[in-house]
Amino acid sequence: MRIETERLLAWTATVCRDEIGWAIDPARWGEGLATEAAAAAPRDTFERVRLERVVSFTSLANIASTRVMERLGLERGGTTEWAGSEHVWYTVSAQREHVSD
């Protein structure tokens, strides 16, 4: 993750036990920062937090977040209704992450 002056540009985290998510300063959208910041999230979750799989989900309309999931190598799991709108979820297992080493 790149850091500029004292301002947080990118946030990634493992939340809700097995979910990874991200948010970027709107002034810096489209520069590849989310992909860069989130790149280590799946492996970190498997190696440090010791989960067997991680999931990520977003609104079907959120193309940028969906692209980040795909660029991280997550596989599309399906769609689900959440908070009144259709969402898509992606997942990757620790086993698959290690197989692709």
Give the interface with ligand COA as residue ranges (CB under 6 A): 21-24, 29-35, 58, 62-65, 67-68, 71
Distance, in Å, from the CA atom of 56 to the CA atom of 71, rounded to the nearest integer, reads 13
Point out the residue whose Cβ comes nearest to ligand COA: 34
Q: How far apart are CA 93 and CA 3, in angstroms?
A: 30
> Judged by CB, which is closer to ligand COA: 60, or 95?
60
Largest CA distance in the chain: 40
Q: How far is the CB of 1 from ligand COA (least distance, A)?
A: 11
Cβ of residue 77: shortest distance to ligand COA, in angstroms? 14
